[in-house]
Amino acid sequence: MSTIVLVTGSNTGLGLEIVRALFNSSVTYTLILACRSLDKAIKAIELIKNDYPESKSEAWGVELDLENDESIKKCFEVISGKVDRLDVLVNNAGAQFDLALRDNTMSIREIWNKTWDINVTGTHIVTHTFAPLLLSSHSPRLLFITSGVSSLSATEDSTLPLDRPPPPGWPKDAQLIDFPAYRSSKTGMNMLVRQWTRWLKEDGVKVFAVSPGLLATGLGGMGADMMKKMGAEDPKVGGEFVRNVVEGKQDEFAGKVIRRAGVQPW
């Protein structure tokens, strides 16, 4: 019997690498790729199957828009019509819009509202909607993809580039490059993880916040090349780490924010 895994935002970036890592595992999976576009999910599946033709796992796609309650509902109806449970839900879908302030394409309010709507509110509603399928599993896992920049403790270290105080005066250029909306939304997600850990503790669900490290993806529109110049690693590294969590290799740290080096401080 295969392990059934739903990965949101899985047609590009870290999400795609998570699916690739699982598809290439010795464990047999049924992978459900939930993406804003069904066509993109199908193309991602074709790519993965071409790369790993010997895999015994299977994959199929479904449309999901975290900003749309009706889309979330329909996604659940499609999935629950095909499977009787979810063994793993990977809340990977997320977005970063802070740089839109620099480009004058979004207002501050628009940036913050949209960031939180996707990264926190939408993620919470997806989890709430699919919780019944998770509870039908004999070994359920619930993952939230967070970030290294979500740590409140780390902000006390002013030697870190993102936490170095800017020069006096106004306006602050730091508002354009510190990603405050994205960072705070991921910190908010960490609290969401604590909530779901408590809510599902007696149901035996292992809940994790996974901090995959700085990866060279297209998050926020900076592009993979720019991210690499900032020291970002290949997204494949993050995908393999998430696979380790899915396959139980980090179970001792359930309920916490985990990174490859161990537990990330809150």
Q: What is the DSSP letter of 135?
A: T
Tell me if residue 58 falls in helix, strand or coil: strand
In a domain, 163, yes or no: no
Range of the domain at 128: 3-96+114-157+182-263
In a domain, 221, yes or no: yes
Q: What is the DSSP letter of 233?
A: B
- b/e code 145-154 from CB counts within 10 Å (16+ = b): bbbbbbbeee
In a domain, 136, yes or no: yes
In a domain, 173, yes or no: no
> Of the residues 182, 185, 206, 256, which is catalytic?
182
Query: DSSP readout, 144-207?
Result: EE--GGG-TGGGG-TTSGGGSPPPSSSS-THHHHS-HHHHHHHHHHHHHHHHHHHHTGGGT-EE
In a domain, 255, yes or no: yes
Residues 6 or more apart whose CB falls under 8 angstroms from that of 15 comprise: 7, 8, 9, 33, 90, 92, 93
Give the whole-angstrom CA distance, residue 79 versus residue 259. 30
pLDDT at 213: 76
pLDDT at 235: 80
Task: Identify the burial level of 183 via C-beta atoms within 10 angstroms of its C-beta, where 0-12 means exposed, 13-18 middle and 19 or more buried.
Answer: buried
In a domain, 103, yes or no: no
> Of the residues 186, 206, 211, 256, which is catalytic?
186
Ranges of the chain whose pLDDT falls below 50: none
Q: Are 162 and 178 in contact (CB under 8 A)?
A: yes
> Of the residues 147, 150, 185, 211, which is catalytic?
147
In a domain, 176, yes or no: no
Told to judge if 186 belongs to the known catalytic residues of this protein, a careful annotator would answer yes
Q: What is the CATH number of the domain that holds 133?
A: 3.40.50.720
In a domain, 102, yes or no: no
Number of domains within the chain? 1
Q: Are 245 and 257 in contact (CB under 8 A)?
A: no
Q: What is the pLDDT of residues 76-114, one digit of tens each?
A: 999 999 999 999 999 999 999 998 998 899 999 999 999
- As a dihedral over the C-alpha atoms of residue 23, residue 115, residue 229, residue 47, rounded to 10 degrees, the angle is 20
